[in-house]
């Protein structure tokens, strides 16, 4: 038996027309999303778009890397020097510690923070894939390193032209320095980003990266020092000691650049030993970058 109409529960559901319209604009897709992630990560490496204290260390490092170049140029201008006291690629080697500090401090900013705050799955809910994420982050860190080293190179190059040094010679050596900067931006960075991606703790990532770079450099220094003590400071460094540079990303790039462009002088000059050494050093550099990229891809397949 049905209930009388007055005892039935009233149906209170109402559909309101609030004027909602579906999105009809262009779908920007994976390419735009990947580019946006790259840009945001590059800005984050220098603290842009973040709090004021996040900008302090990157700006200090940038100033520390550039101020010596300004001093060199100023002295060259005042004395009317006929050449710069340091070559472009050698300058990058001299500020290796500064570059390492920037890399160790900022690589975890790009990788560890996303892991700690569990935001990586949110990126993958968008059109980008894991490969896009790794490519954007890796590229952003490498470009941040390149910009850091490009600033003093441009100061040195502009100063050399201001002094009136030979345009052709300075341009050639500036290009040598640019190649060295690209190698420094790829080889040490490739190892650092893998370390940063293994831990969600930024402090652990900073300590691990700095420890790896410092210890590997110290090991090369010990090997070279032992070889020097056995042969004498005035004797040419033996090829057996030159191979030790393979243990350090910075030493690898310095030796490869010196041999490739015939840079540096003196008995303690680091270089890849001969044509075979040049091939081996190049192969190791390529293997480090490609292998690290593959490890990153494998790491984010499991996130």
Model confidence, pTM: 0.85
Query: 154 in helix, strand or coil?
Result: helix
What pLDDT does 41 receive? 92
Assess if residue 254 is contained within a domain.
Answer: no
Assess if residue 18 is contained within a domain.
Answer: no
What pLDDT does 237 receive? 75
Assess if residue 267 is contained within a domain.
Answer: no
Assess if residue 131 is contained within a domain.
Answer: yes
DSSP structural state of residue 125: T
| Burial of residue 15 (number of CB atoms within 10 Å: 0-12, 13-18, 19+) | exposed
Assess if residue 153 is contained within a domain.
Answer: yes
- 85: containing domain: 29-226
What pLDDT does 20 receive? 75
Assess if residue 86 is contained within a domain.
Answer: yes
Residue 60 · residue 67 · CB < 8 Å? no
- The total domain count for the chain is 1
Assess if residue 243 is contained within a domain.
Answer: no
CA atoms within 13 A on the CB side of 173: 24
| Burial of residue 7 (number of CB atoms within 10 Å: 0-12, 13-18, 19+) | exposed
Q: Name the CA dihedral angle for 167, 169, 170, 172, rounded to a multiple of 10 degrees.
A: 120
Residues of the chain with pLDDT under 70: 1-12, 23, 230-235, 266-267
């Amino acid at each position: 038996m049905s209930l009388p109409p007055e005892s039935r529960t009233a149906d209170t559901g109402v559909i309101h027309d609030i004027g909602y319209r579906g999105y009809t604009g262009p779908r920007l897709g994976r390419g735009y999303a990947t580019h946006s992630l790259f840009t945001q990560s590059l800005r984050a490496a220098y603290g842009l778009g973040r709090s004021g204290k996040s900008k302090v260390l990157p700006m200090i490092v940038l100033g520390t890397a550039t101020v010596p170049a300004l001093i060199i140029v100023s002295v060259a201008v005042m004395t009317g020097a006929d050449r710069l006291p340091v070559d472009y690629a050698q300058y990058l080697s001299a500020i290796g510690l500064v570059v390492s500090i920037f890399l160790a401090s900022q690589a975890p900013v790009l990788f560890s923070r996303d892991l700690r705050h569990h935001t990586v799955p949110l990126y993958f809910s968008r059109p980008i894939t894991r490969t896009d994420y790794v490519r954007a982050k890796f590229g952003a860190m490498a470009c941040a390193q390149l910009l850091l080293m490009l600033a003093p190179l441009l100061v040195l190059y502009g100063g050399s032209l201001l002094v009136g040094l030979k345009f052709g010679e300075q341009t050639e050596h500036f290009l040598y320095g640019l190649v060295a900067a690209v190698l420094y931006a790829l080889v040490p960075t490739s190892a650092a980003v893998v370390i940063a991606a293994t831990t969600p703790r930024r402090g652990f990532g900073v300590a691990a990266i700095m420890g790896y770079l410092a210890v590997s450099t110290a090991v090369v220094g010990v090997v070279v020092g032992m070889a020097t003590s056995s042969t004498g400071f005035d004797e040419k460094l033996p090829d057996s000691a030159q191979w030790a540079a393979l243990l350090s990303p910075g030493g690898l790039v310095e030796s490869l650049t010196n041999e490739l462009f015939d840079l540096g002088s003196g008995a303690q000059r680091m270089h890849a030993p001969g044509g075979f050494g040049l091939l081996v050093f190049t192969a190791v550099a390529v293997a480090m970058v490609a292998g690290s990229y593959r490890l990153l891809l494998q790491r984010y397949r499991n996130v």
